[in-house]
Structure 1
Amino acid sequence: MVARVGLLLRALPLLLWDRLDAQPAERGGQELRKEAEAFLEKYGYLNEQVPKAPTSTRFSDAIRAFQWVSQLPVSGVLDRATLRQMTRPRCGVADTNSYAVWAERISDLFARHRTKMRRKKRFAKQGNKWYKQHLSYRLVNWPERLPEPAVRGAVRAAFQLWSNVSALEFWEAPATGPADIRLTFFQGDHNDGLGNAFDGPGGALAHAFLPRRGEAHFDQDERWSLSRRRGRNLFVVLAHEIGHTLGLTHSPAPRALMAPYYKRLGRDALLSWDDVLAVQSLYGKPLGGSVAVQLPGKLFTDFEAWDSHSPQGRRPETQGPKYCHSSFDAITVGSHFWEVAPDGNVSEPRPLQERWVGLPPNIEAAAVSLEDGDFYFFKGGRCWRFRGPKPVWGLPQLCRAGGLPHHPDAALFFPPLRRLILFKGARYYVLAQGGLQVEPYYPRSLQDWGGIPEEVSGALPRPDGSIIFFRDDRYWRLDQAKLRATTSGRWGTELPWMGCWHANSGSTLF
């Protein structure tokens, strides 16, 4: 049996490479160039403001400008890294004004006019600012898959970020009254012009208009989330687009909230020095001589954390566990977990610490081995292994040393290989038996698992031999033998064993 497993492990990548080799050939260079030109024109690198020059020179100069803005090696060549950057989700606001200011600042730097450079203002042209310091806002609607109270909390926190470091103050306007700033979620074309039409997950996630129009628009079809590692973090995008409504353009500073590509939450301050200086140049420092309050991103990692003592946001007629009404991480939500029996019976939510002492909240990936029954948990760069309620390793392990991914999306014990598998973005990792080392040939593309989407939030083998993958409110059923998804749907309404089915009326709870 051991020899057979080893053969499977070595043969699987080769078979999957054959499948990938059978895919259509890579698109031609002319088609890629046209797409790149459309991108550069949309975001302000190829337009009337760029000096006239031969077509090839203008294109090369635009590529150089984009590479510099994106912190890439500046070559002027449309290489693989540049193309990959163009496909990343970003803000839909063009970089035209930002690039002109950035170029001037760099010129000052090389001319050694450092003092003058510091005085450069990174905001829109004169007149595009609010001439008052008390601004009202309204959340017109919100993503369909997220609870309204959690979204409102994220909106309040996003506005608070800017008021902490400036003289601005914000308050939420009544639903029927006027508001200075309006936040709205739209689908597709929403009368902003075809260039601003949303195109579903990926691409431009949102865009906003400078004062004093006071509008920020978000793609309703995006996979929004209010946790750190699932879907697109709505809080970060909210805070970024609010910055535009205040008059800020994009920032060239590394790790700036106002960079064109949205910042990741982490331990560093959420607003960079460039963000703070920009908003203070427009509106001044905090009133009363108070010190600007900078907050690290780790404070904003989970607006959906389950609170067993708070009924807010729960409709009176809604029944069932919390995960029936939102997405979940691994086998947990926040600091709690549920046990779901095959017949659909669901346990009460219980604290993770009650079952596994020393385990932190907001676990990112979890799996149980069908070989020895041990539980494996993953968060950040650390791993835990429990045999029943007792830790096997004593202390959490630093699992990146073995090549494991940082912040994995999901974990799975894969019966055909008798191995643990970790999923991260568009790749997966097979772990060596009994250890935390990644097997040779890995990581590999998730295309090997035909039809399984990127950024899955959980995976679970079923008694019938299938494997269920989860992301947001949807599931995909994988045929182990064929390594491809055979069915998909909404797990809250179509998988009764998940415990989201009303036993009396037969109606769904999702």
Structure 2
Amino acid sequence: MKHFLLMIGLCGVLSRALPVLPQTEEVTEEDVQLAKKYLNSYYPEPEGSPVIRNNHNSFDANKLQQMQEFFGLKVTGKLDSGTLDAMKAPRCGVPDIGGFRTFPLSPKWPKKDLTYSLQNYTPDMAGADVEEAIRRAWKLWSDVTSLSFTMVSGDSADILISFGARVHSTNPFDPPFDGPKGEVGHAFSPAHGGYVHLDEDEDWTRDAQGINLFHVAAHEFGHSLGLFHSNIQEALMFPKYIRSDPAKVKLHPDDIEGIQSLYGPSEEAEGDGQPSGSGSPTNAQEEATDLCNPGQSFDAVTSLRGETLFFKDSFMWRKSPARSYIEKDQISAFWPALSGGIDAAYEAENKDTLFLFKGENYWASKANIIQPGFPKSIHTLGFPQSVKKIDAAVYDKSTKKTLFFSSDKYWRYDETKNSIGMSYPRRIAADFPGIGSTVDAALQHNGHFYLFSGSKQHEFDSQRRFISIKKSNSWFGCQ
């Protein structure tokens, strides 16, 4: 039983085959049996571990009072309709305990840089949306600790994440899922691999409809890192799945206290429990990361799977047509090997690859996974030794060629032939009138080129004819 005792999950309606109790105090025999099963499952007698399940047929009024108190109900010790409704609601499959709590002996990961792998994908969502939900879920925890999470392929990762239905594992201590609208997922503690299993029978979504993957994954990852449940209803680690706007899902101070009791705070949040990067920045930092600052400039701009990324120092803003808000992230949250200072970036859509440039090196990444063999020197692309860094890059979708800008010159690189054109480099000012001699960032959007220089951007059509000048931050509705 030992392995099973450290198994946890976000479960569903335990009484899904039973009728809803009428709004009376009349209690049926089915209700009593439901309550017995519920209390013996989630309020067991302590026997060395709080996760002990049994089939005893006893009914303990003290346990019932404990359950009522935990869920904020009127403590009567009687099986009333409100208590039964709470027992029938979607919830987690482990016992309920007060405040944040860790597993017995407080197991935790012995290192701070963890890897995870998606073993498969749900057909309910686009693959990119699944990866994004998972990444955001890990980010909740890395923001308040010194932990980092990097997605890798294969089964050599520290934490394996998979979707499965019904009997989904050969592990005898891994119970089967119970179909749609029931148990939505479960996870193991760090002492037993931190595996995360998500029920494929659920309707997984990226919004508030169905079961939100980001929300559930964030809860399960708390378990994978070593946290038990909280009795604070606003906490992410509260056992009940409460449908809400995923944009508003965040860690409660109780969650933060719990995870920091295992791994300590992040360097940026040392002593104040604030997410990474949200402490008390200097005025210069605030100005550099204020999108509507009149002098706002960017180090690099690129598209990525339908989004637009804007890089500045150690931060990155993500503008998506699917979201009404702009998401701000630490660059290291996506690419731990790249803490900041990105010089240039571009997406080669025909290769589904994002290329990132920093100094004399560049990296190839699919989603946020750095590909094997990188970084490589920019000179392997054919640039002369006199080029020490790339200032900007933009991929032309119509020609499948990439323009690279460095100092007052630019090159055209053929992504199909993997070579630089014979007639390059050329002077930027000669072919892009009005831009001046340097380009900080470049982007192609709806067939037009946008070249950023300081706080201004120059727009050109597909034939490189000048159209207009705007503020660099006009993409965010800044005046």
User: TM-score normalised by the shorter chain: which range applies?
Assistant: 0.3 to 0.5
* TM-score normalized with structure 1 length: 0.45
* TM-score normalized with structure 2 length: 0.47
Whichever of the two has the greater Rg, that structure is 2
Bigger helix share: 1
